[in-house]
Amino acid sequence: AHYRNVNLAANSYFVPESNSTRYLNYGAAVYPNSHVSQFSSNRIRLVSQVEVNVLTGETIILRADIVYDCGQSMNPAVDLGQIEGAFVQGLGFFMLEEYSFNSDGLMVADGTWTYKIPTIDTIPREFNVEILNSGHHQKRVLSSKACGEPPLFLAASVHCATRAAIKDARKQLKSWGGLEGAESTFQLDVPATMPVVKELCGSSKYRKDFKSGKGSVEKRVQRTKQGSQVQRHTE
């Protein structure tokens, strides 16, 4: 193909109407005379399970299951890599990569020692991805659908599962009389870093009681060992 000057790529390009919000709908309906649909709808299903250590704020992704609609995948191996890679990249955005600046406006997190990026430990311990071929699409390029960028936002499920685990931890701490106010009243910003998760779980309260020598500490430590130290949740 190279020596015969045969182009093996297929592509399309369009500019949406600037004075209309109709582009939010399906391209085939908005532009019925167009040969190629400008928009595609990816149907995706995802479940993530996380484990949160309430004393350290560490979040471990135990499992992630993804079913992703690729239209008709032209190369399943490439699409699988795109889906997995974008998901892990999204984990960095939702859980790790924090931009911190000093009073002069200079970025403090200027290296991997302070700016945390996804590593092999970030990947779900069990990671299942299934590509769903949803059939022929007349208005799509070779019936394909995008799989490079949309999977990044699937990592939001890990953030949601982490928030649910924090809520359970706060509820348990409140039942011990250690947390005032409603257990559901908190805000988990992006990224949900270890210090943030640790603070929202009420770790400071745990540690103060451990150091105070209160009579109820031994009971609380025992209950912590039985399960309150680790909160698991699926979202």
Catalytic residue annotation: 149
Q: Which element (helix H / strand E) includes 51?
A: strand 44-53
CA pair distance 90, 106, nearest whole angstrom: 25
CA pair distance 14, 16, nearest whole angstrom: 6
CA pair distance 131, 208, nearest whole angstrom: 49
CA pair distance 44, 70, nearest whole angstrom: 9
- The β-bridge relationship of strands 126-133 and 230-234 is unpaired
Q: What are phi and psi of 203, to 5 degrees?
A: -60, -35
Distances (CA, A) of 51 to 22, 124, 146, 159, 169: 42, 11, 31, 12, 11
CA 192: distance to chain centroid? 10
Q: What type of residue sits at position 54?
A: V
